[in-house]
Amino acid sequence: MEKVESRAEVPVTLTINGETRTALAESRTLLAYFIRENLELTGTHVGCDTTSCGACTVLVDGVPVKSCTMLAVQADGHVVETVEGLDKDGVLHPLQQAFWDNHGLQCGFCTPGMLMTSLALLRKNPNVTEDVVRHAISGNLCRCTGYVNIVKSVIEAGQKMALEEV
Amino acid sequence: MFPEAFAYYAAHTLDEALDYVDQYGYDAKILAGGQSLLPLMKLRLAAPAVLIDINAVAELTGVTETDGQLHLGALTRHSTMEFGCWPQHPLVAEAAQQIADPIVRNRGTVAGSLAHADPAADWGAVLLALNARVEVRDKHQSRAMPMREFFIDTFTTALQPTEIITRVEIPAPPAFGYVGGHYYKLERKVGDFAVVGVAVTATLDQGGRVLSAGIGLSAVGTTSLKATGAEEILVGQRLTPELISEAAQVAASESSPFGDRRGSEEYKRAMVQVFVERGLLAIAEGGSRVTVHSA
C-alpha cells in the first residue's frame, strides 16, 4: 500500500491462512477489525483493545503481533495466520488438541491469542520448559485458568510437534 | 476503538520518508512499530493528519557492531535487542527483555520509544546510562546529539517536525576492562509501565577500579534522567560497599519523582536507591561481567 487519503477506502490484499483475500479498508481500520468484520473470520478476538491482553494476537509473516495495534493497510501484501488456520480437515492442531486434553481453557476468550503466540514459540523450538512458556505468553492474559493448564498444554503440544517433525 | 481519520503514506526509501515529513511537518507522525502511537490515536489523545509508515524502509533496519560500538537502525525492534548477542553490552538485552511484553517487543522499536519520550519508557534510561548518541536527519542534513540533549520534556524531544531518527549509536566500553550492566524495573504487573526503572552499567579495570559508569533512571522525573552526580562519584574508585551506598544515595537525590497511584515520591526515591545499590553490588561481585577485548 503506497498512499491512502483520509477516509478513502482502498483494497487491501493479504494471504490469510494460505488463502489470498482482498477487502476494502480505511487507513484507520485496525487489522483485528479487518480480519473479523471485513474478512469475517471472527476467531480472532478483541479483548482490551489497548495492546494489553493479547486476545487479538495473530501471526504476521510468522511473528506474533497484537492485531488491534496494527493497521490493516500495513498487512497489505503480507502473510497473516489466525486461529482458523490451525485445524486441518477437521483434525485439531496438536496445540488445540493439547488445550482440549489438558483443560487449557475455560471461557475460551483468550484462547485464539494463546494458541497463536504458542504456535510461533513452538515452531522456533518445540522443546520448551515451563519457564520459557510462561515468559512467552506473558503478553496474553487469561482471567479464568490461572495459566497452569495453559502452560501444561503448550509443553505437551510441543512434545507432540517435536515427534511429528522427526 | 479506532483512530481519527488520517492519510497514510508508506515510504520505501529514507528519501521518500524525508520528503513526506518535509511536506507535512507538524501534521505528520512517523509510524514505526506503532506500539505507543496507535494506542494513543485509538484513545484520541493523538490525532495526526498524516501517518508516514517507515516499516518498508530497508535503510533503517539492522544492527551492526564495529569495534564494540553498536549502530542500531531506527527500525530496530525491541525483540532484536532482546535476542541479539552483544557481550560487550550486557545491559542492552537485560533491559530489552523487560519492555512491555513479548508480543509488543516484536513490533515496538528502540528509536520509536525515544521519539515518543515517555519518561517511564525503558530505553531512555538505558541509553542515557550507556552515553548513546541519536542520529537524526531532515531532507537537507543530518545531525547527531548525545542522549542527554535529546529529551526536552515529557513527550517532547529535540527532534524537529521535519526530522526522522535514523540511527542510535551505543559507544564501545573502554578497552582492557570488565563491563557489567543491569536493568531493574519495578512494575505492578507484566507489561505495565515502570513504577521505577534503573539502568546501571560500569566498566572496571583489572584492579577493580571504575573506568566508566553510567546510571539512568526511568519514571522518576519529567524525562528519563541521567544520574551524573552518582556516576562522577564512582569513576576512578573501587566499588566498595561504602562507595556504592554513597552513589545510590546521590542517585536517589538526583531523581525527582511524582507521587501517584503507583507509589509516593518517597517510595520511588527509596526504590531508586535500592536499585542503584543492587546494580553496583552485582557488578562489583562480577555477576554479569564480561571481558572486553584483551589485546
Please check whether residue A2 touches B, CB under 8 A.
yes
| CB nearest to B7's CB, from A5, A50, A51 | A5
* Domain contains B295: no
CATH number of the domain encompassing residue B41: 3.30.43.10
Cβ-Cβ pairs closer than 8 A, A with B, add up to 95
**Considering its fold, how many domains does chain B have in total?**
3
> What is the location of CATH 1.10.150.120 in chain A?
94-165
CA B96 to chain A, closest CA, distance in angstroms equals 13
Average pLDDT of the segment spanning B71-80: 98
B30 and B80, same domain (yes or no): no
pLDDT of residue B176: 75
Q: Which residues of B touch A66 (CB under 8 A)?
A: 103-104, 107
Sign of the torsion formed by the C-alpha atoms of B237, B240, B245 and B248: positive
pLDDT of residue B293: 44
B278 and B202, same domain (yes or no): yes
B41 and B73, same domain (yes or no): no
B285 and B198, same domain (yes or no): yes
B207-256 pLDDT, tens digit per residue, is 899 999 999 999 999 999 999 999 999 999 999 999 999 999 999 999 99
* Domain contains B1: no
Q: What share of chain B is helix, strand, coil (3-state, %, to 5)?
A: 35, 25, 40
CA A11 to chain B, closest CA, distance in angstroms equals 14
pLDDT of residue A166: 60
Burial annotation B98-136 (CB, 10 A radius, 16+ → b, else e)? bbbbbbbbbbbbbbbbbbbbbbbbbbbbbbbbbbbbbbb
Which of A1, A2, A81, A154 to mutate against chain B (most B CBs within 10 Å)? A2
Residues belonging to chain B with any Cβ–Cβ distance to chain A shorter than 8 Å: 1-10, 31, 34-35, 38-39, 41-43, 49, 51, 53, 55, 100-104, 106-107, 190-191
Q: Is the pLDDT of residue B179 over 60?
A: yes
CA angle in degrees (0–180, nearest 5) for A71-B82-B69: 110
B201 and B283, same domain (yes or no): yes
B241 and B259, same domain (yes or no): yes
pLDDT of residue B1: 86
B239 and B190, same domain (yes or no): yes
The complex's ipTM works out to: 0.96
Quick check: A70 and B100 CB within 8 A?
Answer: no
B187 and B239, same domain (yes or no): yes
B87 and B164, same domain (yes or no): yes
Which of B44, B103, B189 to mutate against chain A (most A CBs within 10 Å)? B103
- Which residue, B133, B154, B170, sits at the end of a domain? B170
Quick check: B6 and A6 CB within 8 A?
Answer: yes
| pLDDT above 90 as % of chain A | 97
Quick check: B38 and A5 CB within 8 A?
Answer: no
Average pLDDT of the segment spanning A8-32: 98
Q: Which residues of A touch B38 (CB under 8 A)?
A: 30, 51, 69-71
Q: Is the pLDDT of residue B58 over 50?
A: yes
pLDDT of residue B51: 98
- Which residue, B136, B170, B204, sits at the end of a domain? B170
* Domain contains B294: no
Q: Which residues of A touch B31 (CB under 8 A)?
A: 71, 74
Cα B131 to Cα B226: distance, rounded to the nearest angstrom: 9
B180-197 pLDDT, tens digit per residue, is 999 999 998 888 889 999
Please check whether residue A63 touches B, CB under 8 A.
yes
B162 and B245, same domain (yes or no): no
pLDDT of residue B177: 84
Quick check: B6 and A30 CB within 8 A?
Answer: no
For A62, other C-beta atoms within 10 Å of its C-beta total: 11
- Which residue, B170, B199, B223, sits at the end of a domain? B170
Average pLDDT of the segment spanning B111-135: 98
CATH number of the domain encompassing residue B252: 3.30.390.50
Strand segments, DSSP code E, in A6-98 are 9-16, 19-26, 57-60, 63-66, 79-81
Q: Which residues of B touch A53 (CB under 8 A)?
A: none
B38-54 pLDDT, tens digit per residue, is 999 999 999 999 999 99
B229 and B188, same domain (yes or no): yes
pLDDT of residue B175: 80
Place of cell 498444554: A153
Q: Is the pLDDT of residue A37 over 70?
A: yes
* Domain contains B2: no
B96 and B37, same domain (yes or no): no
Q: Is the pLDDT of residue B102 over 70?
A: yes
CATH superfamily of A94-165: [2Fe-2S]-binding domain (1.10.150.120)
Please check whether residue A26 touches B, CB under 8 A.
yes
Quick check: A52 and B191 CB within 8 A?
Answer: yes
Q: Cell numbers for B246, please give them.
A: 554513597
pLDDT of residue B295: 35
Q: Which residues of A touch B51 (CB under 8 A)?
A: 27, 71
* Domain contains B152: yes
For B214, other C-beta atoms within 10 Å of its C-beta total: 26
CA B3 to chain A, closest CA, distance in angstroms equals 6
Average pLDDT of the segment spanning B151-165: 97
CATH number of the domain encompassing residue B150: 3.30.465.10
Q: State the pTM of this model.
A: 0.95
Quick check: A28 and B102 CB within 8 A?
Answer: no
pLDDT of residue B214: 98
A66-80 pLDDT, tens digit per residue, is 999 999 999 999 999
Complete edge-to-edge strand list for the sheet that includes strand A57-60? A19-26, A9-16, A79-81, A57-60, A63-66
Q: Is the pLDDT of residue B289 over 70?
A: no
Q: Is the pLDDT of residue B159 over 50?
A: yes
In terms of residue numbers, what domain contains B26? 7-53
Please count the CA atoms within 13 angstroms of the CA of B38 that sit on its side-chain side: 30
Task: Classify domain A9-85 by CATH number.
Answer: 3.10.20.30
> What is the location of CATH 3.10.20.30 in chain A?
9-85
Minimum CA–CA partner of B105 in chain A = A65
Contact B269, B220 (CB under 8 A): yes
Cα A153 to Cα A6: distance, rounded to the nearest angstrom: 45
pLDDT of residue B290: 53
pLDDT of residue B191: 83
